[in-house]
Amino acid sequence: MNASTDKILFLLKSHGPQSAAALGEQLQMTSMGARQHLLTLEQEGWITFSDEVRGRGRPLRLWQLTEQAWQRFPDSHSELTVQLIDNVRELFGEEGMERLILQREQQMLARYEAVLGSLELSDRLAALKVLRSREGYMAETRREENGSWLLWESHCPICAAARRCRGFCRSELALFRQLLAPAAVEREQYLLEGALRCLYRITPPAR
């Protein structure tokens, strides 16, 4: 797999289904050139497509990752993590599992606060984006016209653990709410419920 095909997989993972023309523009190549890479990736089982009708004319062909491609993005020590979760539950019950999740949340809070400190909301989000991306979450942020912010994460490096125990997801939402207070934080899209990413809306308090 070459640099261009790696980039295509990254773009589809980060931004969801896209056309050959859109991918070609981002890769600075013609749509025909992008299509050749896409056909190779399809033959190798990394991507598939669906044709979407948008008004009159030919349907728009959108390319997306297959399950095989999703496995290409690392889920940190997934088998060991799942085994440890099962062991904690067996030895200490759900109460012990909750204590473990809370301890992880408090450790992450302390580590993040050491960087975010007393920064303004926009700077806190910028710093949080960097921290989360370093940890493999592929985080991005954007400010909306209404003054709210969007924070989304296109990859979950602890996905196996989160599938086994949704408490990790609940804890991360609580973590963001503590880090970004007094802004309100709500999760609008959820990877484990079929969305392409986890997306959070951050709304500053009214003045």
Number of separate domains in the chain:
2
88 with 66, same domain? no
8: CB partners within 8 A, 6+ apart: 23, 27, 34, 37, 38, 41, 47
pLDDT digits (tens, 9 = 90+) for 81-104: 788 888 888 888 999 999 999 999
Question: Domain range for residue 111?
Answer: 78-203
Q: Is the pLDDT at 46 greater than 70, yes or no?
A: yes
Residue 183 binned pLDDT confidence (cut-offs 50, 70, 90): very high
More confident residue, 113 or 78: 113
Model confidence pLDDT, tens digit, residues 50-74: 887 777 778 888 888 887 777 666 6
State yes or no: cis peptide before 74, omega within 30 of 0. no
Question: Is the pLDDT score of 75 beyond 70?
Answer: no
* Model confidence at 140: pLDDT above 70: yes
CA gap 46, 43 in Å, rounded: 8
Q: Which residue has the higher pLDDT, 200 or 7?
A: 200
Q: Are residues 65 and 103 in the same domain?
A: no
Instruction: Mark whether 26 and 94 lie in a shared domain.
Output: no
In the predicted model, is pLDDT for residue 77 greater than 60? no
User: What does pTM read for this prediction?
Assistant: 0.67
**Do 19 and 92 lie in a common domain?**
no
Let me know whether 88 and 38 are in one domain.
no
Are 148 and 195 found together in one domain?
Answer: yes
Q: What is the DSSP letter of 147?
A: S
For residue 157, cis peptide bond before it (omega within 30 degrees of 0):
no
Residues 43 and 86 in one domain: no
pLDDT at position 76:
54
Q: What is the pLDDT of residue 74?
A: 60
Please tell me the predicted confidence (pLDDT) of residue 142: 94
Mean pLDDT of the chain: 87
| Same-domain pairing of 20 and 120 | no
Return the biggest CA–CA distance within the chain.
Answer: 61
Least confident of 28-42, 56-70, 192-206: 56-70
Same domain, 50 and 125: no
Residues 65 and 82 in one domain: no
Q: What is the CATH number of the domain that holds 10?
A: 1.10.10.10
Q: What's the whole-number mean pLDDT along residues 178-193?
A: 95
